Amino acid sequence: MTGDAAQRSGAAGTDEPDPEGAPTKEVQGKQGRLEGKVAIVTGAGSTPGPGVGTGKATAIVMAREGAKVVCVDLYPERAEETKAVIEGEGGTALVVAADCTSSSDCEAMVASAVDTFGTVDVLVNNIGLAALGTVVDTTEEAWDRALSINLRTAFLASKHAVPVMAAQGSGSIVMISSISALRGDGTVAYSAAKGALLAMTVDMAYSHGRDGIRVNAIAPGHITTPMVHSVSQPGPAAAFMDQMRSEAGLLGTPGTGWDVGWAAAFLASDEARWITGATLPVESGVLSVTPLLMAGHLRAVPAP
């Protein structure tokens, strides 16, 4: 299971940004790459636990880069934690409570952004949930839930954001997919939904490119987030798996939600103005190597 997968609220932690976080705008001493833009980040709330996940990190990084950020979450009290960090650093944020499986909630989400900040320039579809299961033992209910949360949410949020972007002739949409869309990991419904996100990315890039809208995807790898820890019991086995997530990549270093946030900020910015229909892996090179070649760095998981 990859780091963006596990719970409905997206990927995030309740801790304050760690030292790996991007510097604030004041520290940067220059105009941010998203200065003047309005960004919606779905699943921007916080799963309790240490560290930071993709939704919270993305919202914070985009605010640090100058964007006004609409923090959307099913649990608004969690999004308030993200907003507090942003405003504590001098940024601007708005919390919107929304069930993004609902078309009316997504319509209201976009309307709130337009009413408060005037437009929508960036949409990050970050909501994700995964569960173990093969095509045989996954229930129909689990299948439908995975597609609803991982895919329907992106469809509906995009459905209502695209017309606003098209009317102004510009916009950027970033889908948070997963390497599970490209490599098997025993989460058939989640993998199918994340794979569909990649297909949706390409089709939307084709359909709306002449509207000035770029659509790209990020495929996070074995990052460590609060959601990963939320589905495992603390102890030696969990600590060992944290180490294995690092060792499985070519760099041998841990990945976090910040890595996804930085990538999303780049794809949303004008620096990526000629990039669309692409998938950017953020995975320490695991897609570039066979498991056998990494065997020397990996060991069996110890008994609990």
Which residues are annotated as catalytic?
190
Determine the distance from the C-alpha atom of residue 36 to the mean position of all C-alpha atoms in its chain, rounded to a whole number: 22
- 187 bridge partner residues: 133
Which is nearest to 265 in space by CA: 167, 176, 163?
Answer: 176
The vertex-108 CA angle with 257 and 66, nearest 5°, equals 45
Cα 59 to Cα 72: distance, rounded to the nearest angstrom: 10
Task: Return the SS3 of 222.
Answer: coil
- Residue 227 token pair: 């959601």
Cα 198 to Cα 181: distance, rounded to the nearest angstrom: 8
Cα 251 to Cα 260: distance, rounded to the nearest angstrom: 16
Which is nearest to 66 in space by CA: 269, 274, 272?
Answer: 269
Task: Return the SS3 of 204.
Answer: helix
